[in-house]
């Protein structure tokens, strides 16, 4: 059976938008449970301004508190050098820079134009390379932007080209507000795949419109084999109005398994983690 990797982003993307400040121990318990599920990569931290995203302010404590399972890469978002330095001190196993294919979201989310963001990422990329830290890249709003409307696929391809040139080992393509359709995803992928092989890209689909699994399926047809997801379907970005949860890890598991792929994940642990994540949202 062919392998599909699910990259668990629940502890970061799933929790970052929660209004209740979730106690650090609860975050650690979720990561520790997820560490037994069979993931190769789990995103658990974000070294961004605590004024912008208060929920992620304890990222260093989360990284310090988890029980690390050998073979799992515990990942962190790093928008600038300050974030990069925080991630290194906290011993993140890999980092991610995150940009946008639309100017409106770039401004709202990281307070700069796309071109300025690429300039800011350059020293991070150089430092990551020097430190031997793998660096992933995100592109938000790959089909639709909450501020600018539909995104030109050529714009996504351009940002992807720049991030690959900086040394990102993989680019995660974000349908940030969950408005993509299998058609718009396929059109976008056709453009992006002109810049690199399918193995260089991952799908990061939010499920606002309930189409994320269909978009995963459309992406599989284009050769994509890595998908970001969050247990329990938690998530959203504070700077993307209307953005709701990431596609649920268990939903992606069920869809790709039904299609004949293997994920190497333990479905029972995913279910337990989904219950835990939902309770964290509810504040139980």
Nearer to ligand HMG, 28 or 45 (CB): 45
HSE-CB at 268 with a 13 A cutoff on CA atoms is: 0
Bridge partners (DSSP) listed for residue 43: 75
Work out what residue 226 binds among Mg ion, ligand HMG, none; the CB cut-off runs from 5 to 8 Å by kind.
none
| 43 binding Mg ion? (CB under 5 A) | no
Using DSSP, state whether 32 is helix, strand or coil: helix
Question: Site map for ligand HMG, 1-30, x if CB under 6 A?
Answer: ------------x--x--------------
CB 246 within 8 A of CB 203: no
82 is in the binding site of which of ligand HMG, Mg ion, none (Cβ under 5 to 8 A by kind)?
ligand HMG
Q: Would you count residue 262 as binding ligand HMG (CB under 6 A)?
A: no
Number of residues binding to Mg ion, judged by CB under 5 A:
1
The binding track of 60-99 with respect to ligand HMG, each residue x by CB under 6 A or -, is -----------------x-xx-xx--x-----------x-
Residue 267 neighbours by CB under 8 Å, 6+ apart? 250, 253
Distance CA 137, CA 163 (A): 6
Sequence-ordered list of residues with C-beta below 8 angstroms from that of 264, at least 6 positions apart, any chain: 3, 38
Q: Select from Mg ion, ligand HMG, none the partner in contact with residue 1, using the beta carbon and a kind-dependent cut-off of 5 to 8 Å.
A: none
Tokens 């501020």 correspond to 147
Q: What is the three-class DSSP state of 174? A: strand
Sign for the pseudo-dihedral over CA of 110, 80, 95, 59: negative
Which parts of 105-164 interact with ligand HMG (CB under 6 A)? Answer: 109-111, 138, 140
Complex with Mg ion: residue 5 or 13, whichever CB lies closer: 13
Q: Which of 141, 168, 213, 237 is catalytic?
A: 237
237 classed as catalytic: yes
Assess contact for 84 and 78: CB atoms under 8 A.
yes
Task: Determine the distance from the C-alpha atom of residue 216 to the mean position of all C-alpha atoms in its chain, rounded to a whole number.
Answer: 14
Q: Give whichever of 35 and 100 is closer to ligand HMG, judged by the CB atom.
A: 100
**Residues in binding contact with ligand HMG, number by CB under 6 A:** 27
Q: Which 201-240 residues touch ligand HMG, going by CB under 6 A? A: 204, 206, 237, 239
Query: d(Cα 6, Cα 165) in Å, to the nearest integer?
Result: 25
Which two structure tokens, joined as six digits, stand for 27?
A: 């975050």
Which residues participate in catalysis according to the annotation?
237
Residues engaged in binding Mg ion (CB under 5 A): 13
Residues engaged in binding ligand HMG (CB under 6 A): 13, 16, 46-49, 51-53, 77, 79-80, 82-83, 86, 98, 109-111, 138, 140, 174, 176, 204, 206, 237, 239
């Amino acid at each position: 059976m062919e392998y599909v990797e699910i990259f668990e982003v629940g502890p970061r993307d799933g929790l970052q938008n929660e209004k209740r400040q979730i106690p650090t121990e609860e975050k650690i318990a979720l990561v520790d449970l997820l560490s037994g599920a069979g993931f190769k990569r789990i995103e658990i931290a974000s070294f961004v301004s605590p004024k912008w995203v208060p929920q992620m302010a304890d990222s260093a404590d989360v990284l310090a508190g988890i029980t690390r399972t050998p073979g799992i890469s515990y990942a962190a978002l790093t928008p600038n050098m300050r974030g990069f330095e925080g991630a290194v001190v906290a011993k993140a196993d890999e980092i991610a820079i995150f940009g946008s294919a639309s100017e409106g979201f770039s401004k709202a989310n990281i307070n700069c134009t796309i071109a300025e963001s690429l300039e800011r990422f350059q020293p991070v990329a150089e430092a990551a390379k020097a430190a031997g830290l793998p660096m992933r890249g995100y592109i938000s709003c790959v089909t639709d932007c909450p501020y600018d409307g539909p995104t030109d696929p050529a714009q996504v391809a351009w940002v992807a080209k720049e991030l690959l040139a900086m040394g990102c080992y993989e680019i995660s393509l974000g349908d940030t507000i969950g408005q993509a359709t299998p058609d718009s995803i396929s059109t976008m992928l056709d453009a992006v795949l002109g810049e690199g092989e399918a193995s260089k890209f991952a799908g990061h689909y939010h499920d606002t419109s309930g189409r994320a699994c269909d978009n995963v399926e459309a992406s599989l047809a284009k050769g994509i084999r890595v998908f970001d997801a969050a247990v329990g379907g938690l998530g959203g970005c504070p700077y993307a109005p209307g953005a709701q949860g990431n596609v649920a890890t268990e939903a992606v598991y069920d869809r790709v398994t039904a299609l004949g792929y293997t994920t190497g994940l333990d479905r029972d642990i995913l279910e337990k983690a989904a219950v835990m994540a939902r309770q964290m949202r509810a504040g139980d």
